[in-house]
């Protein structure tokens, strides 16, 4: 193991960083787009079905195929990888945001409106805080997907820990495969734990379980 | 007629939901400052719809609603709602906010400074007799009754003059509900708030309202005070809604002493001699005489017993008059009086008007008549209301002319 670290230590750190970088940007974009979209969709229930349907469809495209499809559009490298992973991250976040918002007791929304909150105030002060656990569950799920799938991004030249794994496959070096896989798993677990902490802090005190 | 401007005025308001579904129509209603208006009806009667149009939670399809003389359509809905308290059936406290945050939602929206909000919250907690340290708790840590108390004061927090309440106590157990009814009634009277209260519970409406608006199928059937509603229900529907029980009870509830008293009681002035008193007793066949002065003010009474024992020493009626005497005002309600008469074992009670002048007498016999009407009156239905009046006037007047107190000697035995 020390031998492996001596040989690949610095590479491991760079690749992990790349993996993290791609995943984080893809996930951040996913959150920025899907959460507001999910909230918006609760105001248009008919459109919501269509949009969620489209997002589900995108989810069914095989990940390798999706990455390959990005090449004609964005060439190779980091950008197409981020775009592809961003598309993957959309559905869980969108669906959970939508469900979470829909599940807020209509009585509370009625009370908020009746007391004189604007639609925006109601969303920010009442609906989003109450939907937060469900929204965060979607984000955590997306985060794990994105980190795992970012490994495949190596195929289109985006780098990341996938480089180690695919090298290992090509060169029949199991230690490279394992050495690439373990950091991915650890990364996913650490990020999930961090998001868990974030969820705890974002969730209103009374709603924490 | 210089009439005060109504706080809320409905002018031929209607609400039609998509298609042909008419929720309410031809609603004309005035709600004045300080009134406690109960909208009552079965589900689907349009009572909640009517209430929710006041704060523009629903927009009328036709007609006009004025708030303090101003068309609410021309007031920004959000601003309007911040001026009107709103209490809903399911309480609707925000589970993720502390009690303090819940109470001060509207003041916060109105950008009150923190200091002022804190002060107001404490003041309101005091008002509903909840400890101040509850302010830092969450709604789930409070009982249902406590939560609805918070719901009520939340609607008062920004000094709203008008409070809308949609079956606020419907989900509470009877004891808690009663306590909250007391509370809201007291608050309303103490703070001079105007309340529009939707309910389907007639007891609740009768207890709280100064005005009851009965609705059915989107129309106002009757708009009356609780007493009017009980005594003069507009039609069969209102009668059914009120219920036979209450109508019958109401008769006793609203009957005044004057209606059942016997007029022309046996009375004498203090200046008269004892001989005159005895001959009056013989003539009227009574054992007690009421003593009044020349202006007919009630002074006391004399009875046969004291007349007999003090015949030697006393000369005039005034000398043996017992001045401590229990009497009732003619406007007093029978239900209050009957109890006292029966419990204290009085044979009779003199009735005076507002100037303390003797106007009549209530005997146990006249009470028997009144109770009889209350209990049996409903079986005779149409005759019931007649006999109630009869008993108060002609039938009782006859014995009254010759024996006011004489009746009493028999009456207790009958009871």
Mean pLDDT of B144-170: 90
Q: What is the pLDDT of residue B374?
A: 62
Average pLDDT over every residue of B225-244: 85
In this predicted structure, the answer to whether residue B287 has a pLDDT above a threshold of 90 is: no
Percent of chain B with pLDDT over 70: 86
Residue B396 has pLDDT above 60, yes or no: no
CB contact under 8 A, A108 and B92: yes
Q: What percent of chain B has pLDDT over 90?
A: 30
8 Å CB contact of A117 and B109: yes
Task: Name the closest residue on chain A to residue B102, using Cα atoms.
Answer: A112
Model pLDDT, residue A193: 95
Instruction: Assign B252 a pLDDT band (cuts: 50, 70, 90).
Output: low
Q: Which of A113-117, A184-188, B341-345, B356-360 is predicted least confidently?
A: B341-345
* Residue B191 pLDDT grade (very low, low, confident, very high; cuts 50, 70, 90): confident
pLDDT confidence bin for B248, thresholds 50/70/90: low
pLDDT for A93 equals: 94
Tens-place pLDDT, residues A16-48: 999 999 999 999 999 999 999 999 999 998 899
Asked if B96's CB is within 8 angstroms of A116's CB, the reply is no
Q: Verify whether the Cβ–Cβ distance A206 to B95 is below 8 Å.
A: yes
Please list, in sequence order, all residues whose beta carbon lies within 8 angstroms of the beta carbon of residue B16, skipping any fewer than 6 positions away.
B22, B23, B25, B61, B62
Strands B70-71 and B84-87: what pairing?
unpaired
Question: Which 3-state string (H, E, C) describes chain B?
Answer: CCCCCCCEEEEEEEEECCCCCEEEEEEEEEECCCCEEEEECCCCCCHHHHHHHHCCCCCCCEEEEEECCEEHHHCCHHHHHHCEEEECCCCCCCCCCCHHHHHCHHHHHCCCCHHHHHHHHHHHHHHCCCCHHHHHCCHHHCCHHHHHHHHHHHCCCCCCCEEEEECCCCCCCHHHHHHHHHHHHHHHHHHCCEEEEEECCHHHHHHHCCEEEEEECCEEEEEECHHHHHHCCCCHHHHHHHCHHHHHHHHHHHCEHHHHCEECCCEECCCCEHHHHHHHHHHHCCCEEEEECCCCEEEEEEEHHHHHHCCCCCCEHHHHCECCCCCEECCCEHHHHHHHHHHHCCCEEEEECCCCEEEEEEEHHHHHHHHHHHHHHHHHCHHHHHHHHHHHCHHHHHHHHHCCCHHHHHHHHHC
Provide, rounded to the nearest whole percent, the portion of chain A with pLDDT above 70: 100
Structure token pair of residue B133:
């340290």
Collect all residues of chain A within an 8 Å Cβ-Cβ radius of residue B96: 126, 129-130, 204-207
What does the pLDDT average to over B21-37?
A: 90
What is residue A103's three-state secondary structure? coil
pLDDT at B377: 53
Question: C-alpha distances in angstroms, B328 versus B51, B257, B292, B335?
Answer: 43, 8, 15, 12
Q: Which of A37-46, A116-125, B238-247 has the lowest mean pLDDT?
A: B238-247
The question of ipTM being above 0.85 is answered as no
Q: Which pLDDT score, from 0 to 100, does residue B278 have? A: 84
Q: Which residue has the higher pLDDT, B277 or A135?
A: A135
pLDDT (average), residues B218-240 = 87
pLDDT tens for B320-368 read 888 777 888 887 777 667 767 777 777 788 888 888 888 888 887 777 7
- Write down the mean pLDDT value for chain B: 81
User: Residue A152 has what DSSP assignment?
Assistant: G
| Radius of gyration, CA atoms only, chain B | 29
Q: For residue B392, what pLDDT band results from cuts at 50, 70 and 90?
A: very low
Higher-confidence residue: B201 or B256?
Answer: B201
Nearest Cα of chain A lies from the Cα of B257 at a distance, in angstroms, of 47
Q: B80 to chain A: nearest residue by CA?
A: A116
Residue A117 pLDDT > 60: yes
**B397 band by pLDDT with thresholds 50, 70 and 90:** very low
Is the pLDDT confidence value at B415 over 50? no
Report the residue from B79, B95, B106 with minimal CB separation from A115.
B106
């Amino acid at each position: 193991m020390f031998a492996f670290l001596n040989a690949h230590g610095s590479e491991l750190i760079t690749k992990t960083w790349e993996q993290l970088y791609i995943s984080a940007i893809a996930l951040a974009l996913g959150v920025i787009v899907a959460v507001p979209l999910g909230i918006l969709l609760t105001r248009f229930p008919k459109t919501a079905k269509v949009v969620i349907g489209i997002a589900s469809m995108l989810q069914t495209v095989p990940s390798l195929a999706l990455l390959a499809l990005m090449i004609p559009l964005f060439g190779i490298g980091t950008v197409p990888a981020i775009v592809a992973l961003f598309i993957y991250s959309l559905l869980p976040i969108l669906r959970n945001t939508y469900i979470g918002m829909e599940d807020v007791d209509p009585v509370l929304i009625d009370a908020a409106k009746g007391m004189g909150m604007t639609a925006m105030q109601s969303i920010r002060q009442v609906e989003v805080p109450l939907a937060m656990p469900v929204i965060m569950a979607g984000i955590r799920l997306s985060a794990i997907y994105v980190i795992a799938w970012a490994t495949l991004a190596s195929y289109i030249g985006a780098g990341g820990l996938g480089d180690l794994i695919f090298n290992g496959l090509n060169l029949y070096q199991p230690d490279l495969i394992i050495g690439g896989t373990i950091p991915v798993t650890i990364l996913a677990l650490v990020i999930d734990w961090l998001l868990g902490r974030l969820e705890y802090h974002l969730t209103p005190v009374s709603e924490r379980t | 007629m210089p009439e005060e401007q109504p706080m809320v005025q409905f002018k031929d308001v209607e609400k039609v939901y998509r298609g042909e579904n008419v929720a309410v129509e031809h609603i004309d209603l005035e709600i004045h400052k300080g009134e406690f208006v109960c909208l009552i009806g079965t589900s689907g009667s349009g009572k909640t719809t009517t209430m929710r149009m006041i704060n523009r939670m629903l927009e009328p399809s036709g007609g006009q609603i004025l708030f303090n003389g101003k068309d609410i359509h021309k007031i920004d809905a959000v601003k309007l709602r911040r001026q009107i308290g709103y209490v809903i059936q399911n309480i609707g406290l925000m589970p993720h906010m502390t009690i303090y945050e819940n109470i001060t939602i509207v003041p916060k929206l109105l950008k009150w400074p923190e200091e002022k909000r804190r002060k107001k919250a404490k003041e309101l907690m005091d008002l509903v007799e909840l400890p101040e340290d509850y302010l830092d708790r969450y709604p789930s840590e409070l009982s249902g009754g406590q939560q609805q108390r918070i719901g009520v004061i939340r609607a008062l927090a920004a000094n709203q003059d008008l409070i809308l309440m949609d079956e606020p106590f419907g989900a509470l157990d009877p004891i808690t509900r009663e306590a909250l009814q007391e509370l809201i009634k007291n608050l309303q009277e103490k703070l001079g708030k105007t309340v529009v209260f939707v309910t389907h519970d007639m007891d609740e409406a009768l207890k709280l309202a100064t005005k009851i608006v009965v609705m059915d199928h989107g129309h106002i059937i009757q708009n009356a005070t609780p007493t009017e509603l009980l005594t003069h229900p507009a039609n069969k529907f209102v009668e059914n809604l009120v219920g036979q029980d209450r109508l019958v009870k109401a008769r006793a509830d609203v009957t005044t002493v004057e209606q059942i008293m016997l007029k022309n009681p046996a009375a004498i002035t203090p200046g008269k001699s004892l001989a005159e008193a005895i001959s009056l007793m013989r003539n009227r066949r009574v054992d007690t005489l009421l003593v009044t002065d020349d202006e007919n003010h009630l002074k006391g009474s004399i009875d046969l017993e004291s007349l007999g024992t003090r015949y030697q020493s006393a000369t005039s009626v005034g000398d043996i008059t017992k001045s401590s005497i229990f009497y009732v005002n003619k406007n007093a309600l029978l239900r209050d009086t009957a109890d006292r008469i029966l419990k204290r074992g009085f044979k009779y009670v003199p009735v005076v008007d507002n100037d303390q002048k003797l106007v009549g007498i209530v005997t146990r016999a006249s009470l028997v008549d009144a109770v009889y009407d209350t209990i049996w009156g409903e079986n005779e239905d149409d005759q019931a209301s007649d006999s109630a009046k009869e008993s108060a006037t002609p039938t009782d007047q006859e014995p009254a002319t010759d024996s006011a107190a004489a009746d009493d000697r028999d009456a207790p035995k009958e009871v």
